[in-house]
Amino acid sequence: MEDDTEESRTLFFEIVQLKAQRPRKNISAEEQTMASIQVNDIPRPSSPNKKNH
């Protein structure tokens, strides 16, 4: 389990670093889509707000 957490942290920091390396204004639509897909691929617990609605 620890390895999975470490891998998730590494992936998270890689994405953060990529975002930090370039200003948001310079990100093309394609890159933004790819970033969104990568973030959405990360499994996370469903938001409790969704269940209330």
- Whether 38 and 15 have beta carbons less than 8 Å apart is answered as yes
**Residue 22 within any structural domain of the chain:** yes
How big is the chain, counted in residues? Answer: 53
Q: What is the pLDDT of residue 45?
A: 66
**Residue 28 within any structural domain of the chain:** yes
In the chain, which stretches have pLDDT less than 50? none
Q: How many domains does the chain have?
A: 1
**Residue 7 within any structural domain of the chain:** no
Q: What is the pLDDT of residue 6?
A: 79
**Which residue reads 């499994």 in tokens?**
43
Q: What is the pLDDT of residue 13?
A: 81
Cα distance between residue 31 and residue 51, in whole Å: 31
Q: What is the pLDDT of residue 11?
A: 80
Which residue range forms the structural domain that includes residue 34? 12-41
